[in-house]
Amino acid sequence: MLATLEVMTITAAADGSALGNPGPAGWAWYIDDETWAAGGWPHGTNNMGELKAVLELFRATASIDDDLHILCDSQYVINSVTKWMPGWKKKGWRKGDGKQVMNLDLLMELDEAIAGRRYRFEWVKGHVGHVLNEAADVRARGAAEAYQRRAPVPEGPGFPGAAATRPASPTTAAVQAPSLFELDEPDHPVTVNFSSSEYSRLVARATSAGITVDELIRGLA
């Protein structure tokens, strides 16, 4: 008798929010009340939140082999992943007019995260009462409002088994680790190894900010 392998599908909504756009920004993905995550930045755009929500959903589910059904109200995100990214990559992450694509760091990370994954997007209209979309929207906006108030961000329970890989929030990271250049040790050279994709993201960020890569790295400390 041939065994039948049942393919499971995870259905999740992903959404972003930015108060003022740009302004305090949040992202969230939601499966159910026990399985969701949220985060954000003190300053960002709605598109950044939308991209980050999908990125963190892929990261949270990276250890499983289930199909991923993503409910998303952002045509920008859906088109970026399903239509535009292959062409952008061939052109060195530049658009048809030669200009660098926006949100390059998030797009490159998302490109890595989706490699080898089985997924499909479904566009849903926002703010019309769709249960999963509304749940993600509420949490993304809650994260943005927390940054606006400078209050703790409700990060959610995450995905089962993925808590150890979840990125720390900026506030948590600042508490847990001292600055690289504030360690109470004598000055000494520091060597940091980057993969080619990581270095490309650093170059893109530095170019966007009008500074050198060295200056960017020192500014992160």
Looking only at Cα atoms, what is the longest distance across the chain? 69
Is residue 188 among the annotated active site residues?
A: no
What distance in Å separates the CA atoms of residue 113 and residue 88, rounded to the nearest whole number? 17
Q: How many residues does the chain have?
A: 221
> Of 26, 40, 56, 73, which one is the catalytic site residue?
73
Q: Which residue reads 């108030």 in tokens?
A: 149
> Of 96, 97, 98, 127, which one is the catalytic site residue?
127
> Of 56, 109, 111, 137, which one is the catalytic site residue?
137
Is residue 32 among the annotated active site residues?
A: no
Is residue 34 among the annotated active site residues?
A: no
Is residue 158 among the annotated active site residues?
A: no
Is residue 73 among the annotated active site residues?
A: yes
Is residue 16 among the annotated active site residues?
A: yes
What distance in Å separates the CA atoms of residue 204 and residue 41, rounded to the nearest whole number? 19
> Of 15, 109, 111, 155, which one is the catalytic site residue?
15
CA proximity to 101, closest of 24, 204, 6, 2: 204
> Of 16, 39, 44, 49, which one is the catalytic site residue?
16
Active site residues: 15-16, 50, 73, 127, 137
